[in-house]
Amino acid sequence: MKHVVLLPGFWHGTWCWSLVTPRLARRRIPAVAVDLQGQGLEGVSPSSRWSRPFDESAFATEVSGVASVTASSAAEALIDHLRLIGEGDPCVVVAHSMGGVVATLAAEQEPSLFSQLLYIAAFAPVNGLPAAADFTADENEGELGTQLLRADPFTVGASRVDSGDPDSRAAIQKALYGDVSSEIADVATSLLNSDAPVGIAAETISVSRERFGSVPHTYVMCGDDYMIRPALQRRTIRDIDAVSAAPTTVVELPSSHSPFLSQPDAVAEAIATAWGKPLSV
């Protein structure tokens, strides 16, 4: 029985899938969430995050404890997880946002561990440019992610956010959780890591039709996403199709960047369909 492996994006941990996994369990689909390297329980906050009085200058310049994480190292960690969870058998891998970079590289390196790769509003830099280039792409006009940063990513080695500042919290929730209930959005914001390893976004990766392209792909598009705009998601799908043996299956949701919190039934439906047991059956 193949497993579903759930991979979060930047600033998030395994907790973000907690509304989805019971819905998969209801269909007897074995699912486990794993942390992206440098995130969740592997996250390291700068000491300045907790200093009182808060020193905004120190927070903006302290080098991150996750600065050494790269897409390559995170892909190796994901491959280790897949080997452990699947015991060598392929898994359905679900990747959100920047987790898509890591899953893409892992699929190129070990395609036999993937029975399906399902992206949720995710980056998949298969066109020869790093994911960071997509932030300023014309197709991503109107994104709200860059304004969340409270430090130069290439100075501190991380995309750093300040979830403790009221104005920052409001901006984070607008960018990530636009259609999430205020109660859940408040809790989720409090659980975010402050630092996400910029090395994942900055690394250029290469994929081939023979390896990455042999893995079936599904892409869940989020139509009201202000982190990865719909036009960029559509271009990403075209890029994936250009290096794949079969077209990407596309699922469109009228959601913000975090449908696992706002529309967990729809996310579980997409995952179950990729696994082979749609919830509607």
Return the pLDDT at 281: 41
Q: What are phi and psi of 266, to 5 degrees?
A: -70, -40
Q: With 60 as the cut, is the pLDDT of residue 242 above it?
A: yes
Return the pLDDT at 59: 98
Return the pLDDT at 276: 87
Return the pLDDT at 136: 87
Confidence band, pLDDT 50/70/90 cuts, at residue 277: low
Give the integer Cα–Cα distance in Å for 72 and 80.
13
Tens-digit pLDDT profile for residues 131-188? 999 988 999 999 999 999 999 999 999 999 999 999 999 999 999 999 999 999 999 9
98, 227 Cβ separation under 8 angstroms: no
**Rounded average pLDDT over 245-266:** 98
Q: With 90 as the cut, is the pLDDT of residue 114 above it?
A: yes
Tens-digit pLDDT profile for residues 40-86? 999 999 999 999 999 999 999 999 999 999 999 999 999 999 999 99
Cβ atoms within 10 Å of 20's Cβ, excluding its own: 26
Give the integer Cα–Cα distance in Å for 142 and 229.
7
Identity of the amino acid at 8: P
DSSP assigned state of 224: T
**Rounded average pLDDT over 247-256:** 98
Tens-digit pLDDT profile for residues 187-234? 999 999 999 999 999 999 999 999 999 999 999 999 999 999 999 999
Question: Residue 201 corresponds to which tokens in the numbers above?
Answer: 């976004």
Model confidence, pTM: 0.97
CA angle 35, 30, 75 (to 5 degrees): 30
Return the pLDDT at 1: 66
209, 244 Cβ separation under 8 angstroms: yes
